[in-house]
Amino acid sequence: MGEGWGVFCVGLYAFRGGSAVERTIFHVDLDAFFVAVERLLDPSLVGKPVVVGGMGPRGVVSAASYEVRKFGVHSALPMSTARRLAPRAIFMSPTHGVYGKVSRRFKSILEDFSPDVHSASIDEAYLDMTGCERLLGPPFESASAIKRRVRDELSVVASVGVGPNDVVAKVASEESKPDGLLIVRGSDAAEFLAPLAVRKLPGIGPKATERLQALGIGTLGELARAPLGVLVRSFGQRHAEYLRRRAAGEGSSTRSVREAAKSISSERTFDYDVLDRDRLDAVALSLSEKVGRRLRRAERKARVVVLKLRYGDFTTVSRRCTLSPAVDGDLAIHGAASGLLWEVLRERLDPVRLIGVAVSGLVERETQLSMLGDSSGLEDSAVSVAIDAIRERYGDGAIVRGRLASFGGGV
């Protein structure tokens, strides 16, 4: 092979009359991305246990090198816990401005392989590769080519999962790490997932895992076979059916990967509880920009804006509002979030631990005037798109809205 990475195949892709009978979805994930970029900046870190994340009292791990994962350190772990588990590791804050540049080059590489790329986060993306075989060869060849280009052009490593839908592809890439390639055919999906722990399924977090374990369900195979009534009592009808289908390997195999996202969100946990309403509103604007940028990248607009606040005592409050017409501009999102923020703070003005902004009710992005002829939404969208372009070319700090500049450009 000569590539230095492992390759695994589960089944083979089926073809009839030269046409694929199922979708081909790639999930490409950059391994320990933040650590990999830090090692590019400082090669002396190569081979050493490195943890990147927030250094404040409430900081969390953004990325952990494989050298430190054997001690139980992983992303989203509280940094204080990581320090206890691996006290001799190298702990460092993220180097802002660099990750975005590498990520943009990563996404550019992927767009050379498929016209349908959905960015899931700064270091991972889904590609709909259905019908690309004639140009790029079978999935193994095109996935290998992606890995080579990422390694050669970015000097980082990618793992690739290939499956008939987004769920199977995502799990396949996780199971192939580090530096792997795993291909799963649709007819083999249920068998592939069955022995895996329920927490391996995207969307099942710690709380859902605990509830499933209380029901005696520990693997995805057990979840797929579980009586629906048992699941309904714990998760509700709709979610129970959803979980069981996903555990059986069923996913969004009949739609574009761009349609996979049902909502887009961004959150900020403060190092210390915040009571300053102006600062909370400024953070809401910063989060609205992040959500808006991802919304426009997905070529969507949103009908619903959601604000979440978590107080110092861990009480969590959320409010939502429905907009008409749908929006994708930063100021429109922030305007709705800001109104919800003041509404919540009027009810309870206490120090805030976390604030989040989310959008849902996503629809196709269309450019049209409302029936009343109000063009403010179009102007907001156009300005936001222009800001996106500047930041894409010159970095996130190249342009800052005046409201955020009063906080030194950061909140």
Please spell the DSSP secondary structure of 62-128, one letter per residue: EEE-HHHHTTT--TTSBHHHHHHH-TTSEEE---TTHHHHHHHHHHHHHHTT-S-EEEEETTEEEEE
CA neighbours closer than 13 Å in the CB half-sphere of residue 122:
18
Cα dihedral angle (209, 211, 217, 220), rounded to 10 degrees?
-40
Q: Is the separation of the CB atoms in 82 and 61 below 8 Å?
A: yes
Rounded-to-integer distance, Cα 285 and Cα 268, Å: 12
- Give me the sheet containing 50-53, strands edge to edge: 61-64, 50-53, 90-92
Rounded-to-integer distance, Cα 393 and Cα 256, Å: 28
Rounded-to-integer distance, Cα 65 and Cα 70, Å: 10
Q: Is the separation of the CB atoms in 160 and 254 below 8 Å?
A: no
Cis peptide before 325 (omega within 30 of 0): yes
Rounded-to-integer distance, Cα 203 and Cα 377, Å: 33
Give the Cβ contact number of residue 195 at 10 Å. 11
Q: Is the separation of the CB atoms in 211 and 232 below 8 Å?
A: no
Give CA angle at 110 (291, 98), nearest 5°. Answer: 55
Beta bridge partners of 78: 60
Three-class secondary structure of residue 306 per DSSP: strand
CA neighbours closer than 13 Å in the CB half-sphere of residue 404:
18
Size of the chain in residues: 411
Task: Tell me the catalytic residues.
Answer: 124
User: Which burial class, exposed, middle or buried, applies to 165 when counting CB atoms under 10 A from its CB (0-12, 13-18, 19+)?
Assistant: buried
**Two tokens at 51?**
């943890």
